[in-house]
Chain A
């Protein structure tokens, strides 16, 4: 498969636990993005990677959220001490380059439910 893949597809956790969400971008894509889709907030930007660095972390909602990218490929989004309001679908996207004209290709998402 040549698309963006994400794992797990579904995650149920208890309030206060930490979770890690993984994203494998399309091979050769240098830019990687995380978005969140929730009923109350719609689709919102979280963080953007260019290579392994994150020039824009402005969308991370709190310091409980962090993300890293290693080897210019796989990225992990970590949520510490999860809260019920963190329940959402977390979408990852990648693009070949990092300009505004680049198309972002989305993965299927990870559906997170915090009980």
Chain B
């Protein structure tokens, strides 16, 4: 079975500071991992995905994530955040066409 743990429910950070949102996964099948972002009252937008190959994945809006098989992690990072990055971020693993999501991390960027 697949599962995802996002340890931080909320991460406050100042504008232009770096940020890391943590994600750990468990999967009994091939590992395909996703990060989605949800802005208020909107649906989910794909930030990036890991299917295979390079463990460092670059996504939209300056985000990147690193797949670490030994630590079963897929942490999301951004070197310098903007106010507009304030949103909820979901890590997900897929198995048999179903996305299994973590509980989400709310990123709060303040000036």
Interface set of A (CB-CB < 8 Å, partner B)? 4, 31, 33, 35, 42-45, 48, 55-56, 59, 91, 93, 98-101, 103-109
Contacts and interface: CB of A to CB of B under 8 A. Distances in A.
A106 B43 contact: yes
Interface residues of B, number: 25
B98 A106 contact: no
Nearest to B98: A45
Contact of A107 (B43, B49, B96): B43
Nearest to B49: A103
Contacts of A93: 44, 99
Contact of B51 (A45, A98, A101): A101
Given A43-B101, A91-B43, A103-B49, 8 more contacts: A45-B98, A48-B98, A56-B96, A100-B94, A100-B95, A106-B44, A108-B42, A108-B43
Contacts of B73: none
Contacts of A106: 36, 43-45
Nearest to A107: B43
Nearest to B52: A101
A48 B97 contact: yes
B43 A4 contact: yes
Given A100-B30, A101-B51, A103-B49, A109 B97 contact: no
Interface in B52-111: 90, 94-104
Contacts of B44: 91, 93, 106
A105 B98 contact: no
A105 B49 CA distance: 13
B7 interface: no
A115 B56 CA distance: 47
